[in-house]
Amino acid sequence: MPNTSAVKNQEFARIIESNKIELMAPFHWLALAMKDFGRAPMISLIYGLIFTFIPWSILYLVTVTGNHLVILPSTVAFALIGPMFATGLYDVAWELEKGHEPTLGHSFKSMFRNPVNEWGFAIMLMVIMIAWMRIAALIHALYPNTVNPGLDELITFLTMGTIAGGILLAVVFTLSVFTPQIMMERRVDIMTAVRTSINAVTNNIGAMLVWAGLIITGVVIGFATFAAGFVIIMPILSYASWHAYIAVIKTKKQRNYE
């Protein structure tokens, strides 16, 4: 007779249960993340420099090409696709949680714990990003032709851009907020991770709005400091994302991170 537990763990596109968390729980995740940063400063700074190089490249691209159309989609991509590349930092937080000494080599290896599904997820997000760039180009066609357009002339352009950006932001956030962590720790299929992420967000709309707001605030601060702030901001957001996963997605041995 087959082991029902093993069958359940191998089930494709299942939904892992989630916890109901408090509205202000994301601030606690940030507090835990800051402690992680202090416990592993060198690894955190190395990853922080890597993440800082990405927005510097974006800013350089905008400056060289003079094409401001890439700013918004690049910012969205950095804010939402970027966490997928934080798998190494999730591993650092995981090692600290287990009482182990995190190492750079171990964190790099964690990026290949579930390569097929992680690459599949990356391709899915890239397709969404490309679609967003096309939408941004179409919306730009609504920009007034006058030299100094007034607010009344810009209203259609601004409204369409805000609606499209908001919808895409919500969709990608919902798809990606827990997916990389689930795929890394549990090594499940991409559809199980995505469906679990969607379910967890819809069950905790209030707290997830707060968490999304904190992420956006961190990204804005990072760009406001000409990307220098990302050296610290991105490791902290990555560690906080791990603690968010532990608090929201039910595990065999649930920890109290709410």
Say what the pLDDT of residue 249 is.
95
Contact between 180 and 84 under an 8 Å Cβ cutoff? The reply is yes
Residue range of the domain that includes 49: 20-101+112-144+152-248
Alpha-carbon dihedral sign for residues 33, 88, 105, 256: positive
Any domain includes 106: no
Count CB atoms within 10 A of the CB of residue 121.
21
**Residue 50, in any domain of the structure:** yes
Rounded CA-CA distance 205/201 in Å is: 6
- Other CB atoms within 10 Å distance of the CB of residue 171: 14
- pLDDT in the model for residue 13: 81
Does 231 map to a domain?
yes
CB 82 within 8 A of CB 52: no
Whether residue 59 lies inside any domain: the answer is: yes
pLDDT average per 10 residues of sequence, the chain (258 residues): 48 89 96 97 93 78 68 59 75 93 90 83 79 80 75 80 86 92 91 95 96 93 88 94 94 52
Cα–chain center distance at 256: 22
Does any domain span residue 32? yes
Question: What is the C-alpha separation between 248 and 93, in angstroms, rounded?
Answer: 16
Structural domain contains residue 63: yes
Beta bridge partners of residue 249, listed in sequence order: 18
Domain count, the chain: 1
Q: Do the domain assignments include residue 5? A: no
Residue 157 covered by a domain: yes
3-state SS, residue 249: strand
